[in-house]
Structure 1
Amino acid sequence: MAFLFLVALLVTSSSSSSHGTSALEPTMTFCSGQPPNFGSSDAITTGELTSFLNAVCGGAYGVAHMSHNKSWHIAGTNRTMFGVAQCRPDVTVPDCAACLAAASSHLVARRTACTASGAVWHDTCFLTYYSDHDPAGPFREDEYTATVFNASRVLSPDEDGKAAVRRLLVAAGKKSTMSSHTCRGVGASTAAGGLIYGLTRCAAGVSCDDCRRCLRGALARVESEYNGSAGMQVLRLSCMARYESYPFYNATSLQLADRGIPDGLIGNPTIHGLPPAAQPTTAHPDGHTARPPDAPQPVVITSADPLVVLLIIFLVSGLAATCIIRVLITRDRRKKSPAQRAHAIDGMLEKAIHGQGEEHLSTEEEEDDGGITRCQLYSYQVLESATCHFSSRNKLGSGGFGTVYKGTLENGIEIAVKRLRDSKRSVQELEREICIVSNLCHKNLVRFLGHCFHEEGRFLVYEYAPNNSLEKFLYKACFQSQKLEWAKWFNIIKGVARGLHFLHNEGIIHRDLKPHNILLDESFNPKIADFDLMRVYDKQKTHESTQKVAGTFGYMAPECTTGRKFLLSIKSDVYSYGVLVLEIITGHKINTFEGQKSESLVEYVWRHWMERRANDVVDSDLGLEGQENAPRQALRCVHVALLCVQSDRTRRPTMGQVLSMLNSNNDATEVMHEPSLPGYVVRPKAGTGVWLPCLQVQGRS
């Protein structure tokens, strides 16, 4: 028998005192009753709830997971509790602790009404717990949303006032969605004759993608319900948006927090035509400002109000707006870099609110596969348990930047956990890289799932590739138990090209493309991995200079290893791709191959090409026999690879051109350009017919 949810909105009221509202008095409380399949034996006691919330609050700015039954054993439990505790970044540690303690006591006192879940919003903190779903799981568009007004009317109720508030909160929201850690942000705006202040914030553990979705719904609610009040809050379980006509946060503390955590203060353009702020500010001894003593009490819309029907309509409108924005974002992902996407939120919100901009999605196979990027925070305990305490039996491999372990989460999902080595990179630098990688979504790129920064180390979490790396199948000496047919090899060659083409369109150079960094899923589809050396580049430039040599020798283009200044461009990746294709076709490793007179693998293939004997370099184990088009496709791959490894980087094709050549008809070899001299090779001395390695003639100066 299905259970019905009992939802109660518990709104704390207080008398209109000249001393104002207590800082520890909640703005809003939300309670939900019995969840499905909830039995009386599962009822949480006061002591259990108190202990659980204390554990959650002890990890403020994080997510706590705890399973229990009456004896508090994890094994054999009927219920899992999830909690989130978070303080505003400008409050002091004592104030944060006091606020969360008050919130915890408030929820414990309402335990019988909050059996399924409970949430408390204070001015400076937020505390919630669930037993019916994981707050770090998929975002729910229908999650609880409340609107709180400041009863005073000091702003213009017309479109000018609404536009001013919209610009302020969209700017703050844009900052939130650009943050790479927990997606928080605040904003302030000046106006002729007055000031308005705004804040947008997402709950800890919410991915940046879900933060955008939640804030779009919140800002749509502000847009639809704005009435010119002096202040307004839209409170959701995953995010909140707020503006006031007085500074309700400490700007100095926020600026300090901005240096350590990616939150920050936003200055918006001057907004003209707004009346002056109606209330003076009151400073607390600790330096942060709060609601003025004579500020009016908030007016709260609850389920008992006659406006509930209108609220439902507004919510449906917000959901429709979110759907439209999702279409716009998916389309926009194909055209903009990760940094540009966050910058485009403002315009997309405007279009969605006014019902503009919906277009049909492209489904070209080399483009974004349309998946939603999920990037979340993992606790160290979860990763430690998943990897059996980082056991050597779970070790998948290691490299210059860390060791990778296989892990299995409690829900059975397999993951790959990279434990980074100690490095000089700051947390902020690493977070910027995480923000970029988490926005890269393509079927031929390994999917980034989340991260963990802990005193035990720094960890990056990726999807698990069951068939390990391409290196395991490529070289005869490495893996003999299973041979792949040509169709799979050709799919790998094209899949890597698609993934690299996507990266270049996003303004990213991989810099370390090699078989070890190509992972294979259960169907042997390739996924480019290991973005430790990636470089974001200006697509308006043909190349950039760098003082550092980075990459793996053998796969690095000559312009990246010779000369006083090393030139870096997307053509550097193209060279690496060409070497990788030659390794696949020949079955030999670039750094261990020795041909006639110690010639390299590239020289070996080039010599056979010039002698019109390119078929002789094709590995007999590729499974070409009995397939009509396979020999031509393999020869075309040799041709494309030699075009990619040309010494002159300007003659190398782009990855888009590579895809066109690989996907064209079987006679394409006849119309493809003839490759020129490869990198690290010079023309033979007159009369000798011997090809010489370039580095024997032209060393690094």
Structure 2
Amino acid sequence: MGKFPAVMIILASSLLFVLHTSKVVNGAKCFGSLAINSSYAQNRRDLFSTLANKVATNGGFYNASLGQYPNRVYALGLCARGYEQKACFSCVESLTLDTQISCGNITDSFVWDNDDEDGVSCLVRSSNHLNFENDEPRPPVTDTSIHPFELSINMTLFMQQWEYTVNKTLEAAIKANTSSVHKYYGAVEAEFTAFPNVYMLMQCTPDITSQDCKKCLGDCLTYFREEFRGRVGETVLGTASFPSCFFRWDLLSFNGAFDNVTRVPALPRPQAQKKGSSIPYNKGLSMHWGIITIIVVLTFINLVILIGLYKVNVWRRKLNNGINGGCTEYSDSDGRFMLRFDLGMILSATADFSPENKLGQGGFGTVYKGILLNGKEIAVKRLTRCSEGGVEFRNEVSLLIRLQHKNLVKLLGFCNERDEKILVYEFIPNSSLDGFIFDEEKRSLLTWEVRLKIIKGIARGLIYLHEDSHLKIIHRDLKANNILLDTDMNPKVADFGTARLFDTDETKAETQRIAGTRGYMAPEYLNYGQISTKSDVYSFGIVLLEMISGQRNNSFEGEGIATFAWKRWTEGRPEIITDPLLVKIPNKEIIKFIQTGLLCVQENATRRPTMSNVIVWLGSETITIPLPKPPAFTSRHS
């Protein structure tokens, strides 16, 4: 065959770049039986809540179990060799979320993430069996892509070299039987005759034997060859994976994977044909075939694009006409639904984010009201593209999908299509607390009974976050406009974008990134970055005093509401800080609430009560409440 014209090489190289700038993520595979009850999914959530951190900080591999038979869960996480710790954490955290969304209460799952953007591949799997790989055959994951050079290569020679490289990679992986967490690992860079170098990677989880690793990779290759077979004249790039092993090959080096690579020279070229037996070279005929080749390739590319566009449009029409009005539905074992919303449906529901539908705006994005095709009202939080909204998005989804409490806002789903990051919540008709307590007209609707309900509801929501949930969460941005009110004026704590997840036995920590609202942040957090549950207690104290006074914290010039309330309390004049609308409330009741608020805003965090203490004090008429010390003087930071 004559040489490719220069234009053909440029066309092929350009298409190669397009193929390899996309991110390929193999979706979670769910199989096995349904769990007997919700305990299994709960145990898996508990294990997954710390799995990413354990994997990233333990050399790239971690496995653990939790619970009792028949709801015992065995979970495993693995990052490929050459990873960066931050990328590994992000990869595993993403897969744990994907598994919980996709698999619900199905007992067995696994997902490999082949992530070129972050430079790391990782595995997350879970099962109710210890011997995960040795039960029955597990479903594989494959991904393949057609390469543009396929029309110009000698496929017979290519396949010989490909199989030779496969054997070398498999040999390297099986021989790497050390004590390392990446003991079954082989990476090969091979020279191919008249073709770009080929890169291969094989890896097994370190919890299996070398014999099982060899069998798993053998099954992986067999399955991949079945996919490969029958593609006459095609070169296929891609991956295949089982729950305990992974195979990948490509024409481009994988990020981070080739620090310790075996280089394989090309096989000898086939002997040239004897002189006189070759076809004479004809320059005009070669140019003629070159032009024909270009036309054929361009026609093929256009045909593939048209077919792809047609399939995408069909898929979108089916999705938009589905029972959920344009979203994919998931549910966990507790019956809670989690939806991956289609961007087109979001745009339709909010009238393309019309200003008329705007409900409010925060530091990370804007909230809009939306109406689905079935008439259901939703609140849509569109994260700002230029902010750190990506961090907030992942944080809020990963936290709220695991939390369920009547005093926490309910996350219905999300959308991360194209460059949009969107969170979809239940619609709360009365909007936020600040729209009532700081409004001269609406504040009259907040009778003492309603204010009691709101204050105690906020406290119960924080108790759940700090003590009753299987996670320990510090909200870090508690304030009146992050408290939503439903039709019955029940409060719901919202906006978990800056929340911080703690280990259950962790009491305090330090952070370099101060997130929150000045005036509501505890002094030790604002000044030194120290956070704990007592940070939220301080914020609650400010909100409580605002509820008593009906005035914002920053309404008191030269001193915050805490200092102002302290002075009036010590003077024996609580009526000065009390909302005039509450004049008929017994003085003793008002004093108890002001005293509790002042205890929450003590400068020394150890002197502040827990939220459990607070709820007991507010509900009792006989318990003696401690006397507060002077509060933190934070007016200079307000």
Q: How high is the TM-score relative to the length of structure 1? A: 0.48
Once the two structures are overlaid, the 10-residue window that deviates more, 273-282 or 607-616, is: 273-282
- Corresponding position of 2:377: 414
SS at match of 1:441: coil
List gaps (5 residues or longer) in structure 2.
1-22, 31-37, 39-69, 80-90, 111-124, 142-169, 174-183, 188-201, 229-234, 242-332
How many residues align? The count is 394
1:214 and 2:100 aligned: no
8 A Cα contact 1:485 1:623, kept in partner: no
Offset of 1:547 from its aligned partner? 3.0
Shift of 1:265: 8.2
Is 1:496 the counterpart of 2:458? The answer is yes
Instruction: Please give the secondary structure, in 2, of the residue aligned with 1:269.
Output: coil
Q: Is residue 667 of structure 1 aligned with residue 622 of structure 2?
A: yes
1:382 Cα offset (Å):
0.9
Aligned to 1:460, the other structure's residue is in SS state strand
Q: 1:448 aligns with which of 411, 417, 421?
A: 411
Q: Does 1:650 align with 2:615?
A: no
Corresponding residue for residue 97 of structure 1: none
User: Contact between 1:543 and 1:567, CA under 8 Å: does it hold in 2?
Assistant: yes
Matched, 1:389 2:352: yes
| Contact 1:442 1:502 (C-alpha < 8 Å) held by counterparts | yes
Which residue identity is paired with 2:631? P
**In the alignment, structure 1 residue 525 sits paired with structure 2 residue 417:** no
* Matched-pair contact (CA < 8 Å) for 1:405–1:417: yes
Say whether 1:608 aligns with 2:568: yes
Aligned counterpart for 2:595 among listed residues 639, 657, 661 = 639
Equivalents in 1 of 2:78, 2:374: separation in Å?
33
Shift of 1:635: 2.5
State yes or no: 1:231 paired with 2:152: no
Identity %: 35
The equivalent of 2:532 in structure 1 is 569
Please give the residue correspondences for 1:540-551 in structure 2 after superposition, counting only pairs within 5 Å: 540-551=505-516
CA contact under 8 A between 1:467 and 1:520: conserved in structure 2? yes
* Residues 101-155 of structure 1, C-alpha deviations (whole Å, 9 max, x = no match): xxxxxxxxxxxxxxxxxxxxxxx999xxxxxxxxxxxx9xxxxxxxxxxxxxxxx
- Relative to structure 1, the CA distance from residue 613 to residue 410 in structure 2 (aligned partners, 3 Å threshold; closer, same or farther) is same
SS in structure 1 at match of 2:207 = strand
> Cα 1:496–1:174, aligned 2, differ >3 Å: closer, same or farther?
farther
- How far apart are the structure 2 equivalents of 1:678 and 1:377? 46
Tell me, in whole angstroms, the C-alpha distance in 1 between the residues paired with 2:93 and 2:213. 36
CA RMSD of aligned residues (A): 4.6
Alignment of 1:313-324 (within 5 A): none
Q: 1:375 Cα deviation (Å)?
A: 2.3
Correspondent of 1:484 among 446, 451, 462: 446
Shift, 1:538, TM fit: 3.9
Q: How far does the alpha carbon of each residue in 1:455-489 deviate from its partner, in whole angstroms, 9 at most, with x for none?
A: 35211111111111100110244x44852221111
Aligned positions of 1:273-672 closer than 5 A: 277=215, 281-282=221-222, 284=228, 286=236, 372-423=335-386, 425=388, 427=390, 430-455=393-418, 457-477=420-440, 479-480=441-442, 482-505=444-467, 506-562=471-527, 565-594=528-557, 598-622=558-582, 624-625=584-585, 631-663=587-619, 665-668=620-623, 671-672=624-625
User: What is the rounded CA distance, in whole Å, between the counterparts of 1:642 and 1:222 in structure 2?
Assistant: 50
C-alpha distance in structure 2 between counterparts of 1:410 and 1:253, whole Å? 52
Alpha-carbon deviations, 1:189-222, whole Å to 9, x = none?
xxxxxxxxxxxxx7xxxxx356131345999999
SS in 2 for 1:396: strand
Matching residue of 1:686: none
Unaligned runs of 5+ in 1: 1-86, 92-123, 127-138, 140-165, 186-201, 203-207, 236-246, 255-263, 292-369, 682-692
Q: Distance in 1 between matches of 2:395 and 2:447?
A: 40
Say if 1:474 and 1:584, in contact at 8 Å, map to a contact too: yes
Deviation at 1:601, TM superposition (A): 2.0
Amino acid at match of 1:417: V
Asked if 1 retains the 8 angstrom alpha-carbon contact of 2:602 and 2:631, the reply is: yes
Residue 616 to residue 387, structure 1, CA distance change in 2 (3 Å): same
Q: Provide the secondary structure at the position in 1 that maps to 2:488.
A: coil
TM-score where L is the length of structure 2:
0.53
CA distance, structure 2, for counterparts of residue 274 and residue 182 of structure 1: 25
Q: 1:567 to 1:168 in 2, by over 3 A?
A: closer
Q: 1:252 to 1:432 in 2, by over 3 A?
A: farther
2: CA distance, partners of 1:275 / 1:468:
56
- Distance of 1:449 and 1:374 partners within structure 2: 7
Could you tell me whether the CA contact under 8 Å between 2:392 and 2:498 is conserved in 1? no
The answer to whether the 8 Å contact 1:546/1:567 transfers is yes
Q: CA deviation at 1:555?
A: 1.0
Distance in 1, matches of 2:126 and 2:386, equals 43
3-state SS in 2 of match to 1:443: coil
Q: Secondary structure at the match of 2:569?
A: helix
2:352 and 2:186 mapped to 1: Cα distance?
38
- Name the one with the larger helix percent: 2
Q: How does 1:138-153 map to 2 (within 5 A)?
A: none
Q: 2:395·2:499 contact (CA, 8 Å) conserved in 1?
A: no
